[in-house]
């Protein structure tokens, strides 16, 4: 995939932290204008502080980050609750995850209370919690493995035709 220069304008050093499937230049990857661009855009907001109810680049909560990125990249308006977003798109097995897919976790004692954007290499980007900042996490960490509830791929065509 060819990374568009403006996609990395906020964080010029991103190429060193991106998973191989996002940073490789293979020319004609059809994902460049779809879900992989979601992942690339999400990492531009690394370091932005967590803000409960936050929906913009001055502060995000988990679903606010997802909603903002989907709106910015695809022009889609997703709900602002992980519990609602999980009802959209198609369910995926972990082995089928691709950059830009959504991963859901139980972090508050209820299913699908947290959401992040999958990057590849078993990593995802999310706005974690009060006092935190948007960051990349490994899905292999015991904390996240124990709380994983599933993954979804948003069907962009069906949502944009609504």
pLDDT tens digits, residue range 117-127?
Answer: 999 999 999 99
Report whether pLDDT(6) > 50: no
| Amino acid 22: pLDDT | 58
CATH architecture of 5-160: Alpha-Beta Complex (3.90)
Alpha-carbon gap, residue 80 to 82, rounded angstroms: 7
Q: Active-site positions?
A: 62, 114, 126
Q: Residue 35 — very low, low, confident or very high, per pLDDT cuts 50/70/90?
A: confident
What 3-state class would DSSP assign to 105? strand
pTM of the model: 0.82
Report whether pLDDT(157) > 70: no
| Amino acid 15: pLDDT | 52
Element (H, E) at 35: helix 35-43
How large is the angle between the packed helices 62-74 and 35-43, nearest 10 degrees? 120
* pLDDT tens track for 10-34: 444 555 556 655 554 444 443 344 6
Domain regions of the chain by residue span: 5-160
∠ CA 97-98-99, nearest 5°, is 130
Backbone angles phi, psi at 51, to 5 degrees: -140, 120
According to DSSP, residue 16 is labeled G
Report whether pLDDT(113) > 70: yes
Alpha-carbon gap, residue 51 to 73, rounded angstroms: 22
């Amino acid at each position: 995939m060819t990374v568009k220069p403006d996609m990395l304008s906020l964080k010029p050093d991103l190429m060193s932290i991106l998973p191989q499937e996002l940073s490789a230049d293979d020319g004609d990857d059809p994902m460049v204008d779809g879900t992989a661009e979601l992942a690339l855009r999400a990492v531009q907001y690394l370091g932005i502080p967590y803000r409960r109810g936050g929906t913009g680049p001055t502060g995000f909560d988990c679903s606010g980050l997802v909603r903002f990125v989907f709106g910015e990249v695809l022009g889609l308006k997703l709900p602002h609750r992980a519990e609602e977003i999980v009802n959209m798109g198609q369910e995926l097995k972990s082995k089928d995850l691709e950059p830009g897919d959504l991963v859901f976790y139980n972090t508050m004692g209820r299913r699908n209370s947290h959401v992040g954007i999958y990057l590849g290499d078993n990593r995802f980007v999310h706005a974690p919690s009060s006092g935190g900042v948007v960051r990349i996490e490994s899905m292999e960490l015991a904390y996240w493995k124990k709380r994983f509830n599933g993954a979804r791929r948003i069907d962009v065509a069906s949502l944009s035709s609504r």
